[in-house]
Structures are given as structure tokens and as C-alpha cells.
Structure 1
Amino acid sequence: MFYLIITFLLPIILSILTAIVDDNSAYMGLLLALTFFSYGLSVILIIWGVIDNNEKKSEAINDKFGEAIWKFKHLNETRCFVSPKKIARIGMDTENKRVTIIQGYYVNEYDYNSYYYKDHIIDFNNIMETEIIQNGVLITETSRGSQLGGAIVGGVLAGGVGAVIGGLSGSTKTEEETKSIELGIFVNDLENPYYKITFYSQYSSEAENISKERALQECKEWFSILKYIINQD
């Protein structure tokens, strides 16, 4: 309540008093000074509130993310990838032939307490198909029974990359800026048949200093691993 009064009500009250007090009043100078001060203080408090809320959100997400990972402690993961802002995670236990996936959800995106994770353990033989999606467009895919192992639909990376995902056959479309790179996974499960792991999200990744080249390489490696698993099982 005190925060609300200082941030919003005090500047308004002082502005009203400044408007109704005579310009020649001895209090005018003081009121003007207090008014400017209150507006400056309001700006500082708003910025502080935003920063504090972001820190609390980050702490809450880190705690819940850690709890979700802890459920995989009995596995022997040899590789993992965490999406920007911890919205998802994929890991692999080659010894037990399992893939682990964590995905984040929220009831209210503005309430960090409503954020939660679901964890999944998928046997290799239940992985049916995998795909790479760039800017919402399917780039390549591979599935059980497919000998070709995926055909590129299109898409190139701009900003110095200027090349289609290496090592895959197909044609290209008009060059455009890369805003997202995602790995899709179809599994043999009626309740959870599809997972999407974000490897690059333009604003989130740049904030975490993750380049599109690095994200693309990581996504290609995971695609190749899943492709190998699909072809083997």
C-alpha cells in the first residue's frame, strides 16, 4: 500500500496542489520541488519494482527447474541442452536408451508463481519422428520407415550465416532473418505425442548471448542423434 501511494498517488496529489496554489504563494517553490522529486522517485521505484520482480521470477523458475531435473537423478545422462530462459530441456541417457524432456508451462505469464514444469522420460524405441523448424517453417524431418531421412522444405539463415542447414539435401527459399530455431519430436504416446525444444529465440537468446550459429549447430547435432536412434530401433 505504501509503495502504491509513493509511486502513483503522491505525484498526483502534489500536482493538484501546485495547480490550485497561487503562483505568488511562498509555498509554490517548495511544492514544485516536491512535485519534481516525487515524479523522479516514482520512476526509480517503478524501475526497482520491475527489476525486483524479474529477479524473483528468475529465482522461482530456477528452483522449479532444479526440482524437475532432480527427478532424473537415477539416470546417467551423457548430454543435455537447456532452452533460452529455461523454457525446455532435453537430455539423453545412452546407457539406458532414454531421452529426457522437461517443458515449462504457466497459468498466468505475469505471475511467476504459476510457472511449472512437466518432466518426461522417453524410450528410444518410442521416438517416431523428428524435425527442425526455422521461423515456424519446416526445414527437414526424418521418421521411421523413411529411407531418405528428411527433405529440406526451405529456409536460410541471414546475418552472415547465409546457408541452409549443412549436410541436408533440398532447395532454399528467400533469405530471411532467423527469429527461431526449434527441434520437434514425435513420440508413441497418446497423452504427449509431440515435444518442441527451442534452440534459438531471437530476443531471449540474444539476451543470454547465444548466437544463432551456435544454436543451429546444437540443433543439428540433436537432430542427427535422434535420426540415428530412429534408424537403429
Structure 2
Amino acid sequence: MNFLAIDASTEACSVAIRYNDKQFSEYELCPQSHSLRLLPMIDSVLKQAEVKLTDLDGIIFGQGPGSFTGVRIGIGVTQGLAFSAQLFARGVSTLQAMAQQAFDEKGERKVIAAIDARMSEVYTCYFEVDDQGIMQPQTEETVLAPNLVAQFYQHLALPAYGVGTGWDAYAELVSLMSNSSASPDILYPTALAMLTIGQVDFDKHCVDAEHAQPKYVRDTVSWKKLPGR
């Protein structure tokens, strides 16, 4: 099956297409510019693949958690494109996508994802790879103060491989991370990783365009950044 994947849930803006077993992608770090960059990036990968939106089987989108504004932009674009091309859509977790990237690129089978959620909190979840090579959540996705994360994961055999911006933002987390000697290599999700996850059993998990929904995890919007960030 052939899919377009879209993600704007963090500082990164990422799109990818898988068409006839070939992949095309674009990725940019463009904080606060997602609304300007997302559609041109989608147009670019469609041209690279020499394909029309109506030739695809569905759209996979980053459903969060992450930036409230970014998540809404990504889902809004997904809904518009899916509705116009009469395609179904499937949401993929931002945290799961980063864990998937850790397995695909580095062979890591146990991963903790932690994204800086502002307001002195992190979005986090623990993942392990399944028999299909897909990283699956072993805990719920949650938002926690950094000093509570170790308690949340106390039943697990840690440390695990760490991905996301939360590790650099909060020193309290470092003891949980097996790659603690350096800043995480994987800070943001990619649409390519979302393609890998979203194509599996797409028909079972997809929805009509109007039912594409975000997963915020937290209901409060924060406009306040951490000191010095």
C-alpha cells in the first residue's frame, strides 16, 4: 500500500511518501513556521515520487503529544488533504515514532521517549519492539514532573535507550537513560518512522478524515518557556 505521512507536532516539520516500495521524504527544523512549510514540503515529495494524492491509499499523521499548535496544524492539513482525495487517515504517536526510529536506525529494542512538555513537565512512554519490528507502548503515555518519572518507571528493568528533548531539558531523567554519556541522537519524530508504524494494519486503525483527532495527553496550553530556552 502507498501512503503519505505528515508530522508537525514538535519543532521539526516532516513529511514522507512510500509509493511502489520507494520512499521520499523531507525534514526541517522550523519552529513556529509549520503552517508555512508543511504544504510546500508535501508538494515537493509528491513531485519527487511522481504521484498524485489520489493515487495513494491513505494518510498517516502525527497525533501528538507535542506542541498544541503544531499538532493542530498537522491534523488540519491531514483532514483537508484526506477529504479532498477521499482517503482514510491514521494517527501515530509522536513518542512511538521516536522509539521506532531508535529501533530502525540503531537496533534499540527498549526505549524511553521523553519530550520537553514545558511547564516543568515531560511527555513520556516506554516502548519495546514486537515480532513485526514495531515499537509498542508498555506503559501509558503520560505527562509528569521530571522528579516523578523514575517512580513511574520503577517496575521496569532500566536503564533504557533515551530519545527526545526531555533528557537534555531535565537532569533528573539522566539516570534512566542507557545512552546518558551524550545528548540523545534522536530528538524529534520523523514521518518516515510514522510510515513504518502506520502502514501495519492500516485498515483496522484508520478513520474518515473528519474523525482524525489529536492526542494531547495534557489539556493545558503553555506559552511560557523554561528559563534560558
Structure 2-normalised TM-score? 0.23
Q: Which structure exhibits the higher relative contact order, with contacts defined as CA atoms closer than 8 Å and separated by 6 or more residues?
A: 2
- Which structure shows the higher helix fraction? 1
Structure 1-normalised TM-score? 0.23
